[in-house]
A = this chain, B = another copy of it.
Amino acid sequence: MNTPILNTISEPADLKKLSLEQLTQLATGMASARNLEGKNGNVMAVIDDGSLSGGLALEGLNIASTLKSNLIILVNDNGMAIAENHGGLYEGLKKLRETNGQSSHNIFKAMGLDYRYVENGNDLETMLKTFKEIKDVDHPIVLHVHTEKGHGYEPAVDHKEAFHWHVPFDLATGKTLHPVTGETYTDVIHEQLEKEFTAGTPITAITAAIPGTYDLKRFGKKHPKNYFDVGIAEQESITLAAGQAKMGLRPIAFESGTFLQRAYDQLSHDLGINKLPVTIMVSGGSISAGDPTHQGIFDLAMLSNIPGLTYLAPTTKEELQAMMHYALHQNNGPVAIRVPSNGVHSAPLADFDAHRMNVLHAGQKVAILGVGSLLPLAEEVQQQLDVDATVIDPRDVSKLDEKTLIDLKKNHQLVVTLEEASLSGGFGEKISRFYGNTKMRTLNFGAAKRFNDHETTAELWHEFKLTPEQIVTEIKANL
């Protein structure tokens, strides 16, 4: 064939990374630019049915039809988000699948778009024929393609949700090669959930399509009425919780740090302004390279600067559970909890106060504040120093415990902060501002403000000077 089947403007392939939910919006931009520039060519967005529950995807559909020019939106409908779909629009998609696209409950037509249904999306011949026919269409059209998730590989067909998570796997059996062993913070969280439920705390567990991240169906199966999956719709996950909290429930939103950023507006305006006691579990807070859209180092700056919202960073199993208990029984406002990214640590907890720093060792000259997963690093640095340094677990990274910080002035000259997060806008900067007009020196360790996509984790930690040796050297140079 001399010409490509689709003269697709292929820029999305050039983009470093974009979420599927965003592609309809991106396509409206590309198609409108093509029109304005007087160029030709087909613009095609490929999104999946699971993404359609996201407000960003729906915003794109709404604007798509206004372009009155070539724009193909292929909806790959395999009847699944990461887990199963949730929401009324999926009833509509189901009816469309059942009627070969003839049902009148058609969200695409209702948004002013032309529509075409393809039943056998896994059949290459059918798809080639369809693409040839639809190429150069002169108006926006939705190509609703029915496919089977995992088609052709039985283990993936039989375990659709599990296969989103457990790579790498054994080809013959489909079983994951890295099964989780031993206690995890997920177990720690579930233990507390059951404790609260049994004690009568009116908790609900909410997820935006990522129950797997927290094994949340473990809770959902036991307490189906208290379990809510809103599909890929992070904004809804937070404001649903807001409404439930307003009615007296104690909702817990289980989020991934990077996806949660889609609900920044809701965190601020719905929870922050109205001081609603919603608990938010935040996973993924680790410095590591990989998919730039999945880096959990920006949550700290995002959450700790929202008025009215408390962001807590536990360092042990006991502290995590105490913070959940605190969050579920206070009425000051939303409380987010950063699930540690390291292995489960355990230590007895005395005199717990979520807003009071925990001085684990009271020394002198140098104080090392290790946020959440970096407390063990703080302790290691302390061991390697010649001076008897103080070690502190700051706990609350959104509001400074000024009393403890003022106390440090008595016999300390350097305060060091360690956070597994981007330094820009984070915890260390708050400490530096606090001591800015005093004799106290400060040193802030954490990640640079950038997306990391190819470095190894070890390279990154070394570059950010997050090894005990590097920190010790820096401290010595500043004494």
Residue A55 lies at the interface, judged by CB distance under 8 Å to chain B: yes
9-residue interface stretch from A317-325, A367-375, A437-445: A437-445
Residue of B nearest to A104 (CB): B104
Q: Which B residues touch A17, using CB under 8 A?
A: 269, 273-274
The smallest C-beta distance from A473 to any residue of chain B, in angstroms, reads: 13
- Mask of A53-76 contacts with B, CB within 8 angstroms, 1/0: 111111111111110000000000
* B-contacting residues, A102-140, CB 8 Å: 104-107, 109-113
Q: Which of B202, B248, B306, B433 contacts A442 (CB 8 A)?
A: B433
Q: Is A37 an interface residue (CB 8 A)?
A: yes
Nearest CB in chain B: distance from A232 CB, A = 9
B60 touches A58 (CB 8 A): no
Please provide the chain A residues from 258 to 285 with a CB less than 8 Å away from any CB of chain B in the complex.
Answer: 261-262, 264-266, 268-270, 272-275
Query: Which of B110, B202, B231, B273 contacts A105, CB < 8 Å?
Result: B110
Q: Which residues 219-250 of A sit at the B interface, judged by CB distance below 8 A?
A: 225-226, 228, 230-231, 233, 235-236, 239-249
Specify which chain B residues have a CB less than 8 angstroms from the CB of A60 in the assembled complex. 236, 239
Candidates B18, B242, B422, B433; contact of A444 at CB < 8 Å: B433
Known: A37-B202, A65-B91, A202-B37. A56 touches B266 (CB 8 A): yes
Asked if A428 CB lies within 8 Å of chain B CBs, one says yes
The reply to whether B437 and A433 contact each other, CB–CB distance below 8 Å, is no
A27–B36 Cα gap in the complex (Å)? 41
Please choose the segment from A143-151, A168-176, A297-305, A342-350 that sits at the chain B interface, where 4 or more of its residues have CB less than 8 A away.
Answer: A297-305
Nearest-neighbour CB distance to chain B for A447, whole angstroms, equals: 10
> Chain B interface: which of A81-89, A184-192, A378-386, A462-470?
A81-89
Q: Residues of A within 8 Å of B, CB-based: how many? A: 119
Instruction: Take A11-B246, A246-B26 as given contacts and tell me if A273 and B451 are in contact as well, using a CB distance cutoff of 8 Å.
Output: yes
A29 partner, pick from B233, B240, B307, B442, beta carbons under 8 A: B240
Q: Does A293 contact B (CB under 8 A)?
A: yes
Chain B residues whose CB sits within 8 angstroms of the CB of A22 once the complex forms: 239, 266, 269-270
Contact A33 B91 (CB under 8 A): no
A425: interface (CB < 8 Å): yes
| Residues on the B chain within 8 Å of A106, using CB | 105, 110
Write the chain B residue with the least CB distance to A33: B247
A266 to B242, CA, bound (A): 23
A112 contacts B89, C-beta separation under 8 Å: yes
Q: Is A410 an interface residue when CB atoms closer than 8 A count as contact?
A: no
Given contacts A22-B266, A55-B58, A246-B26, contact A436 B425 (CB under 8 A): no
- Please tell me if A430 contacts chain B, counting CB pairs below 8 Å: yes
Q: Which residues of B contact A304 (CB under 8 A)?
A: 424-425
A273 to B92, CA, bound (A): 35
Scoring A residues 1 to 30 as 1 if CB is less than 8 Å from chain B, else 0, what string do you get?
A: 000000001010011111100100111111
A89 to B231, CA, bound (A): 22
CA distance A110 to B52 in the complex (A): 13
Indicate if the CB atoms of B56 and A239 lie closer than 8 Å.
yes
Contact yes or no, A36 B225, CB < 8 A: yes
| Distance, CA A109 to CA B91, complexed state (A) | 10
> Across the interface, which residues of B come within 8 angstroms of A268, CB to CB?
261, 298
Question: A29, B246: Cβ atoms under 8 Å?
Answer: yes
Tell whether, in the assembled complex, residue A56 and residue B429 are in contact, meaning their CB atoms are under 8 Å apart: no
**Could you say which of B15, B107, B202 contacts A274, with CB atoms under 8 Å apart?**
B15
Closest approach, in angstroms, between the C-beta of A22 and any C-beta of chain B? 5
Q: Which residues of B contact A261 (CB under 8 A)?
A: 264-265, 268-269
Question: How far, in angstroms, from A104 to B109 measured CA to CA in the complex?
Answer: 9
- Write the nearest CB–CB distance from A87 to chain B, whole angstroms: 4
With a cutoff of 8 Å between Cβ atoms, the chain B residues found around residue A53 in the complex are 59, 62
Q: Which residues of B contact A54 (CB under 8 A)?
A: 55, 59
Assess whether A444 is in contact with B436, with CB atoms less than 8 Å apart. Answer: yes
In the complex, the chain B residue whose C-beta lies closest to that of A204 is B36
Could you tell me the distance between the alpha carbons of A231 and B425 in the complex, rounded to whole angstroms?
A: 31
A159 at the interface (CB under 8 A from B): no
10 tightest A-B CB contacts, nearest first: A29-B243, A55-B55, A88-B112, A65-B88, A33-B247, A305-B425, A25-B239, A436-B442, A62-B87, A429-B429
5 of the cross-chain contacts (CB-CB < 8 Å) are A27-B243, A29-B241, A55-B57, A264-B264, A436-B436
> In the complex, given contacts A56-B236, A92-B112, what are 16 additional A-B residue pairs having Cβ atoms less than 8 angstroms apart?
A25-B235, A26-B242, A32-B228, A33-B244, A33-B246, A36-B244, A36-B249, A37-B202, A37-B248, A65-B88, A89-B111, A92-B110, A105-B109, A105-B112, A264-B302, A425-B425
